[in-house]
């Protein structure tokens, strides 16, 4: 009987160690996948933005220095702030505003853009570069493909600790939903990893416009760092 108990304990310890090793391997795999998904945003975004600035520099536009300054701010955000698992929501929104201004400089008066923010966005945390790809997608696969004057609207609302984000952009009827690129699928995967059961993402192709709606349960920054 004693030998049987010893054998059982040995086998249990062996099984437990194997389980811990498997869990650690899965954790490292998920972390690596998240880092890869996050990294995919950077080259895509930078390529588009640098092209915009390059076009202005060729024409020696006085807007070029301001655009470079905003790009510098975006780079600082990507290189430093985005190393963290979460950033302040207001910082992510500030970066999105910089991105919009960079695009507005390129389009001039040939685009209508509306931005509405409601609720208290302070002291809320969100995964970095979670909202920006939707905005980038709207410009790249929607407004940039149109011959007539395009439009884009972004509505962000925070109710208690739930974020609601809706981005709609006009597009040509012949541009299908599948042409939305890797941006949305990238975010969809990150949401599944980071906010399982705490988010809802919907996309809708309405023919002449495209809509992305996102709901995410956020974390209070103060509570998080007080250990609550």
pLDDT higher than 60, residue 202: yes
The residues, any chain, with a CB within 8 Å of residue 163's CB and separated by 6 or more, are 89, 124, 126, 156, 157, 214, 215, 216, 217, 218
Of 169 and 42, the structure prediction assigns the larger pLDDT to: 169
CA 213 to chain centre: 13
pLDDT higher than 80, residue 24: no
Of 14 and 227, the structure prediction assigns the larger pLDDT to: 14
Phi, psi of 206 (to 5 degrees): -100, 20
Listed in sequence order, the DSSP H helices in 59-169 are 64-79, 89-107, 132-141
Question: According to the model, what pLDDT value does residue 226 have?
Answer: 44
Tell me the per-residue pLDDT of 57-80, one tens digit each, with 9 for 90 and over: 888 888 888 888 888 888 888 778
Spatial CA neighbour of 168 closest among 87, 107, 112, 118:
112
Of 215 and 13, the structure prediction assigns the larger pLDDT to: 215
Tell me the per-residue pLDDT of 122-140, one tens digit each, with 9 for 90 and over: 889 998 888 888 888 888 7
pLDDT higher than 70, residue 220: no
Work out the average pLDDT over 191-212: 89
């Amino acid at each position: 009987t004693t030998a049987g108990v010893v054998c059982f304990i040995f086998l249990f310890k062996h099984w437990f160690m194997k389980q811990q090793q498997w869990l650690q391997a899965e954790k490292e795999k998920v972390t690596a996948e998240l880092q890869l998904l996050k990294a995919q945003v950077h080259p895509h975004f930078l390529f588009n933005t640098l092209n915009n600035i390059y076009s202005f520099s060729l024409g020696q536009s006085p807007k070029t220095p301001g655009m470079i300054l905003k790009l510098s701010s975006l780079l600082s955000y990507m290189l430093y702030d985005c190393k963290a698992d979460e950033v302040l929501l207001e910082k992510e929104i500030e970066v999105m505003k910089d991105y919009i201004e960079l695009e507005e400089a390129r389009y001039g008066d040939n685009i209508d853009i509306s931005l509405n923010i409601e609720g208290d966005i302070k002291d809320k945390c969100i995964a970095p570069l979670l909202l920006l790809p939707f905005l980038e997608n709207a410009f790249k696969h929607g407004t940039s493909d149109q011959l007539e004057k395009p439009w884009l609207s972004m509505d962000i609302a925070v109710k208690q600790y739930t974020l609601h984000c809706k981005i709609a952009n006009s597009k040509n009827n012949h541009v299908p939903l599948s042409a939305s690129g890797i941006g949305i699928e990238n975010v969809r995967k990150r949401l599944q990893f980071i906010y399982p059961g705490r988010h809802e993402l919907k996309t809708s192709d309405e023919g002449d416009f495209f809509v992305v709606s996102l709901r995410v349960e956020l974390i209070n920054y103060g509570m998080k760092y007080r250990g609550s």
